[in-house]
Structure 1
Amino acid sequence: MNHVLSGLAANASLPPELLDRLIAVADTETATHLVHRADLSHAQAIALASRAEEIAVSLAHAGMITAEDVDPAKQPYVALALLAEGVGRSEWAQAFARAPDVKHRVELAACPGLSPDVVEVLASDADVRVVAELALWTTSQTAARLAVHSHAEVRRAVAANEATPPAVLAALLTEAGMAPAQRCLVCDREETPFVHDPECPRLDCDLLPGDSCDGSHESTREQTHQLAIENPGTPDQALADFADHPSLYLRCLLAGRPNLPAAICARLVVDPHPEVRACLAEKRAMDGELIHALAFDREHEVRRRLAHNPVVPLDVLTHLASATRLSSTLLPRIASASPAELEELAASSIPAVRTLVAHRRDLPPALRDTLATDPDAKVLKSIAPHPGLSERLLRSMVDRHGVRVAAKVATNPDATPALLEDLARHRPVVQKAFREIARHRNASVPALLACLADPQARPIAASHAALPPPIIQELLTDPDERVAEAAAANPSLPLNVMWESMPPS
């Protein structure tokens, strides 16, 4: 892999003639970077597609090549990619449905908008992998038909398909009125009873750890239940029995469903395992009694997840902030708080509550500036990135709390070049600040030079457009390949150096 060429491939200042040259010499890694260029012409995309089929597949998904550009016999996966995007030719689908390579048939089965005759061929395929893939993506009518397939793997795929009718999903959970499946992937390959060893040494084995079959296809049936519980189309009445299921994983999946009936929630909120209650705490449809029970749960993770719930009342959130360690992010309920609510929270005597407000980036100037003078360092760390703060207030934060707030001050979009230079010279050194300074739009040359001395900030600084061209050129030969690639991607890299970096034709 040529890291300089990969960097050039991402360089926004690369001229069209040099882009042509780069396409001609690109290895697979460089070509992968080129695929994402917004200025790639159709002709250049065609040239790039000839480098490797996986590159052509990416271009097909990106809409850069069309059916007229592809020979399905020579580039089958590119043709299948176009079919997956809905822009392939119908005759391709008909041919791939009977292709000798099962991988082609599996790829086709996932494509949307297949004609009824193609669906029929795939649904009757001798390889269950093809039928299962079709079941995963097909229409409701075909999914309903495949739900009674004799192979458990097909039924499992039907349970995951969100187009599957609710009544069919309920039947897959209860198995009422359905004949038992005759086979599964485990008993297709092994004599039963069999449990797949998690440390299986066979290189050609694709069974999952713990896959098992004693004749009832139990691991596949459990996976079917998991997928049906996760499927939003599954009716609530089919889920009630799973509130007391011995499987912790199934109870967690049930608790995570968005609109569970209150009766099921009442059973799950007293579940002995905290992970079930934590999943329940993320639900957006909860009554006050349920919220109160979760807010005073003995487990920290339950309370933490409740704090991230958009419907949690502010009085409950205030309690959670004072009793729970919350992550340094903007909570959904704070994001939707009204100006009056923000004022009330910002006046709280509890620093953790004021910190919640400080995570907002659209605060009224007066409230923003008040929080910028807060005596608590955690509040200042949260408010420091807020746009509009004056240099005086930002410097005051650093003067009062030094290393505790310096890195966050460096993220402020309005930090001046002079302030960034001072942060880069701060003693004691603040390693995190170097990375923030290196990516800051206002970083000056002296600040960037200081960042280049830090191993973690060096690759970031090497891509900064404010670096002097001679320094960027020197970094192209840096022993750290990340630095060399970043320098090559720097839009301030001189054009003549770009040309000189090209290998001979």
Structure 2
Amino acid sequence: MNHVLCGLAANVSLPSELVDRLIAVADADIAAVLADRADLSHAQALALASRVAESAVRLAYAGRLTAADVDPVAQPDVALVLLDEGAGSPQWARLFAADPVVGRREKLAACPGLPRDVVEMLAADSDVRVVAELALWTTPDVAARLAGHPHAEVRRGVAANEATPPAVLAALLTGQGLPPAQRCLVCDREVTPFEHEPRCPRADRDPLPGACCDGSHESTVRETQRTALGNPATPTEAVAGFAEHASPLLRRALAARPGLPSQVYGRLAVDPHPAVRADLAENPSIDDALIHALATDPDDDVRRRLAHNPHVPLDVLTRLTGTTRIGTALPARIAAASPDEVEELARSPNPDVRMLVARRRDLPPVTRDALATDPDAKVVGSIAPHPGLSEARLRAMLARYGVQVAAKVAANPDAPPALLEDLARHEPPVQKAFREVARHRNATALALLTCLTDARARPMAAGHPALPQPVIAELLTDAAPRVAEAAAANPSLPLAVMSDLLARLRL
């Protein structure tokens, strides 16, 4: 892999004539980068596809190739992409429906808007993988018909299809009204009864660990039920009885489902498996009574997931901060808090609560500035990246808490150039701050030169347009491939250097 040329291929300042020269000698790695260029013309896309055949698939997904550009016989994978994007010819679909390569028929089965005769051919395909893929994406009438397919894997595809009629999904849950399945992927491959140990050392993972069949195709049937439980088109009355099912996997699928009766959620709230209760805790459909009950759950993950429930009351969330590691993501309830609630949270005596509200990036200036002077370092670190903070406030944070908040101060989008230079020279050095400075839009050449001394910040600094041009050119020969590639992709790389790179390689 030529990292410099890959970087050059990604350089937004690379002129069209040099793009042409790069296309002319591109290998698969360079072609993959060139295919993603926003300024690639149609003529260049055609030239690239001709030069590196595998790039044509990427170009087709990007909308750079049309049906007129593609020969479905010579470029079947590209033609299938266009069919998947709704830009192919119906005649191509008929061609691939009879293709001897199973993988192509399987890809075709997932394409939208197929002609009816093609759908019928795929529904009758001799390979179950093709029919199962069709079942996953097809229309309601075809899905209803395939629900009675003799192979359990096809029925699993029907269960995942949101276009499947509700009554059919209910039948797949219970098996009532459908003839028993005759085969599954397990008994297709193994002598039954068979059970694949969950920790089986076999490298092929076919069938998957835990797969089993004693003639009733139990693992596929269970997966079909789990899939139907997660399908929003499955009727509520059909799923409620699974709250007491023996399989915790099925109870988990039910616990995550919105819109169920409160008594169903109540049974799941006392489930012996913590994972079931954890999925329930994050479900936005549970009521306040269950939220308060789950707030005292002995399992940490249950309480953590509850903290991220968008409907958790603020008083419950406040209590959870004292007993639970909530994580770095902003809880949905904090993000949706009203202006009055934000003010209340910002004045909380609990610093963990103030830290949570400080993660918002749309706080009123008065609230933002008050949190910037908070006596707790973690609150200050949380508010430090908030837009709108003045240089004086950012410097005051740094003076009070030093290395504890340096990286967060550097991440502030409004941090001025002089402050970024000081952060890059901070003693003791802060590695995370180097990386934030190196990617900052306001970073100066002086700050970036300092960031180059840090191994992890060096690639980011090498790609920053404020880096001096002679330094960028020097970094093209850096021993670290990522640094050299970033330098080649730097939009400030002089045109003369770009041309010289290609000329020296006789391109």
TM-score bracket relative to the smaller structure: over 0.9
How far apart, CA to CA, are the structure 2 residues paired with 1:108 and 1:51? 26
Alpha-carbon shift at residue 186 of structure 1 (Å) = 1.6
Corresponding residue number in structure 2 for 1:263: 263
Alpha-carbon shift at residue 318 of structure 1 (Å) = 1.5
Corresponding residue number in structure 2 for 1:60: 60
How far apart, CA to CA, are the structure 2 residues paired with 1:477 and 1:249? 54
Corresponding residue number in structure 1 for 2:440: 440
Which amino acid letter does the alignment assign opposite residue 504 of structure 1?
R
Which amino acid letter does the alignment assign opposite residue 451 of structure 1?
C
Using the aligned pairs only, state the percent identity: 67
Question: SS of the residue aligned with 2:142?
Answer: helix
Corresponding residue number in structure 2 for 1:139: 139
How far apart, CA to CA, are the structure 1 residues paired with 2:53 and 2:261? 50
Corresponding residue number in structure 1 for 2:239: 239
How far apart, CA to CA, are the structure 1 residues paired with 2:206 and 2:187? 13
Corresponding residue number in structure 2 for 1:226: 226
> CA contact under 8 A between 1:343 and 1:367: conserved in structure 2?
yes
Corresponding residue number in structure 1 for 2:40: 40
1:504 lines up with 2:491 in the alignment? no
User: Deviations along 1:68-119, whole A, 9 cap, x unmatched?
Assistant: 0000110001111111011100111111111111111111111000111111
User: Deviations along 1:410-451, whole A, 9 cap, x unmatched?
Assistant: 001111111111111111211111000100111111211111
User: Deviations along 1:38-57, whole A, 9 cap, x unmatched?
Assistant: 10111111111123343111
- Higher mean Cα deviation, 85-94 or 213-222? 213-222
Question: SS of the residue aligned with 1:50?
Answer: helix
Corresponding residue number in structure 1 for 2:216: 216
How far apart, CA to CA, are the structure 1 residues paired with 2:41 and 2:96? 30
Corresponding residue number in structure 2 for 1:17: 17
Alpha-carbon shift at residue 468 of structure 1 (Å) = 0.4
Which amino acid letter does the alignment assign opposite residue 323 of structure 1?
T
Question: SS of the residue aligned with 1:407?
Answer: helix
Corresponding residue number in structure 2 for 1:330: 330
Give 5+ residue unaligned stretches, structure 1.
Answer: none
Which amino acid letter does the alignment assign opposite residue 227 of structure 1?
T
How far apart, CA to CA, are the structure 1 residues paired with 2:301 and 2:196? 33
Corresponding residue number in structure 2 for 1:422: 422
Which amino acid letter does the alignment assign opposite residue 56 of structure 1?
A
Alpha-carbon shift at residue 200 of structure 1 (Å) = 5.6
Which amino acid letter does the alignment assign opposite residue 492 of structure 1?
S
1:87–1:288 distance in 2 versus 1, CA, 3 Å: same
Alpha-carbon shift at residue 164 of structure 1 (Å) = 0.8
How far apart, CA to CA, are the structure 1 residues paired with 2:184 and 2:51? 41
How far apart, CA to CA, are the structure 1 residues paired with 2:241 and 2:389? 55
Matches within 5 A, 1:3-402: 3-196=3-196, 199=200, 201=202, 206-402=206-402
Output the TM-score relative to the length of structure 2.
0.97
Which amino acid letter does the alignment assign opposite residue 146 of structure 1?
L
Alpha-carbon shift at residue 246 of structure 1 (Å) = 2.2
How far apart, CA to CA, are the structure 2 residues paired with 1:265 and 1:484? 56
> CA contact under 8 A between 1:310 and 1:332: conserved in structure 2?
yes
Which amino acid letter does the alignment assign opposite residue 270 of structure 2?
V
Alpha-carbon shift at residue 134 of structure 1 (Å) = 0.6
> CA contact under 8 A between 1:259 and 1:283: conserved in structure 2?
no
User: Deviations along 1:213-257, whole A, 9 cap, x unmatched?
Assistant: 111111111111121111111112221232122222221111111
Alpha-carbon shift at residue 162 of structure 1 (Å) = 1.2
Aligned length: 504
How far apart, CA to CA, are the structure 2 residues paired with 1:300 and 1:209? 28
Alpha-carbon shift at residue 383 of structure 1 (Å) = 0.4
How far apart, CA to CA, are the structure 1 residues paired with 2:453 and 2:291? 51
After superposition, the CA RMSD in angstroms is 1.4
Alpha-carbon shift at residue 308 of structure 1 (Å) = 1.0
How far apart, CA to CA, are the structure 2 residues paired with 1:400 and 1:280? 42
Corresponding residue number in structure 2 for 1:478: 478
Alpha-carbon shift at residue 397 of structure 1 (Å) = 0.8
- Higher mean Cα deviation, 229-238 or 487-496? 229-238
Question: SS of the residue aligned with 2:93?
Answer: helix
Which amino acid letter does the alignment assign opposite residue 506 of structure 2?
P
Corresponding residue number in structure 1 for 2:488: 488
1:488–1:418 distance in 2 versus 1, CA, 3 Å: same
Output the TM-score relative to the length of structure 1.
0.97
> CA contact under 8 A between 2:151 and 2:181: conserved in structure 1?
yes
> CA contact under 8 A between 1:28 and 1:51: conserved in structure 2?
no
> CA contact under 8 A between 1:243 and 1:251: conserved in structure 2?
yes
Alpha-carbon shift at residue 4 of structure 1 (Å) = 0.7
Corresponding residue number in structure 1 for 2:413: 413
